[in-house]
A and B are shown apart, each in its own frame.
Chain A
């Protein structure tokens, strides 16, 4: 009985090594300023578009006001002023006007504000991002990852999840739900809407990247990955599915196809994780050897 139990135990350990396999790369993206600005423009546009959908709903507008406060703060105003004083003044003024007109319930004015703000934000891009960076596909792709990061963060908030969706190490790699994964019950509808809209914005951004870089090999796979993410978010999939979509279905291909490591200004590149399957296998083999070698001492 003991022998069978020991054999089954060892088989189980080895099998766990087989199950626990995944692409061995953690994705830590560095802070490229140009990519951050491109992402910021997309995020602000997304937020004000959402505001325009909720004119007169003060609670929802309050949520998006906080979100916009994250994306445009006094530092951004100051930095913009170093390049263009008109945009330094107009961008925050128009954001505030959008929120104010939305609170007052004036849909027509909000639509005008959103269009005007979109124009100012687009104008800020060549002002803030140098032309060589603007034409750099790596910077463009990195900006997509930044927007995806925000989308995951909002989805975590929407589900009140204890899992950090941007932390790949918290992902369950066998693809099925585990007890520590949050259920896909939405507890914050605003964050949920925000998450879906940011993922859609990332998808749109990547379409623009593809149009500028049509010859990149994995474009279609990455596009399919983004489409799946948006679909899964719309279907309120569980946290692990969403994490798999991003960390397995999108990031590795984006990293390889657009050489994202090269854009990392702070030395935080994609680094290999410790190969856990190898460790489990070694332990298992050692166990088998020990069990057969010293079976008499173990009472087998």
Chain B
């Protein structure tokens, strides 16, 4: 009887642990499957590369396009040729530059860092092999990265002071980097300007040489005419 009781207690304890571990780890919503929508004979699947999605972490919007239905559907190569895709958060949109996947045909990724908690969606405009795809498809919700932070970033006043100090250093560094970039841009601009100027000088010189040569030819011809006239007169006098 004691052994049975011990077994039951152990089983209940393990069940509780399993529930905590698998059902609500850190209170984060589990990853949902990517959303697939059908347009004519084409399947468009959207989602994030890494789910669940947290603010401030590098992720990527993922789009997979196939032709056909079910398991028989085949990936469409260069599917985004005539398709523009933007990401939308609230009323803000940004066009995305998708690159083909390293591993899966017909799959494309656009790297981005979601900065705010909430719902993002992909806005499609254009065609896939002639099939119109004009739609807005929601992505999985983005959660705050604070749920993963340890220790919490909103800590004591000492932490806050340290953070401000770090922030100040970062701002200084950023200011210095921007200054460097500005100087480099100015130098590049001057360099381009010099190149243009040099080319113009070369062109001017060539034009001048051409003019001189033409003038020379004229003088030469005149010289010959004068010489011929002089020789002819000289002969007549003799």
Contacts and interface: CB of A to CB of B under 8 A. Distances in A.
Given A127-B100, A289-B223, A277 B77 contact: no
Given A272-B206, A285-B219, A292-B223, A86 B213 contact: no
B1 interface: no
Given A86-B105, A119-B78, A285-B219, A275 B210 contact: yes
Interface in A265-300: 269, 271-272, 275, 277-278, 280-282, 284-285, 288-289, 291-292, 295, 300
Q: Is the interface of B mostly helix, strand, loop or mixed?
A: helix
B121 to A, nearest CB: 23
A14 B219 CA distance: 11
A291 B230 CA distance: 12
B101 interface: yes
Interface in A233-269: 261-262, 269
Contact of B217 (A123, A262, A284, A289): A284
B82 to A, nearest CB: 11
Contact of A126 (B97, B216, B220): B97
Given A127-B100, A278-B212, A262 B195 contact: yes
Contacts of B217: 14, 17-18, 277, 281, 284
Contacts of B97: 126, 131
Interface string A41-76: 000000000000000000000000000000000000
A87 B77 CA distance: 11
Contact of A281 (B216, B227, B228): B216
A14 B221 contact: yes
A281 B224 CA distance: 13
A275 B209 contact: yes
B181 interface: no
Nearest to B101: A86
Contact of A282 (B102, B199, B216, B230): B216
Contacts of A277: 210, 213, 217
A132 to B, nearest CB: 11
B31 interface: no
Interface in B69-97: 77-78, 81, 97
B57 interface: no
Contacts of B101: 86
A24 B211 CA distance: 13
B231 A300 contact: yes
Interface of B: 77-78, 81, 97, 99-105, 192, 195, 199, 202, 205-206, 209-210, 212-214, 216-217, 219-221, 223-224, 226-228, 230-231
Leading 9 A-B pairs by shortest Cβ distance:
A119-B77, A119-B78, A278-B213, A281-B216, A288-B223, A123-B100, A275-B209, A285-B220, A122-B78
15 contacts: A3-B228, A7-B228, A11-B224, A24-B206, A85-B103, A86-B100, A86-B104, A119-B81, A123-B77, A123-B78, A127-B100, A269-B199, A272-B202, A281-B217, A282-B216
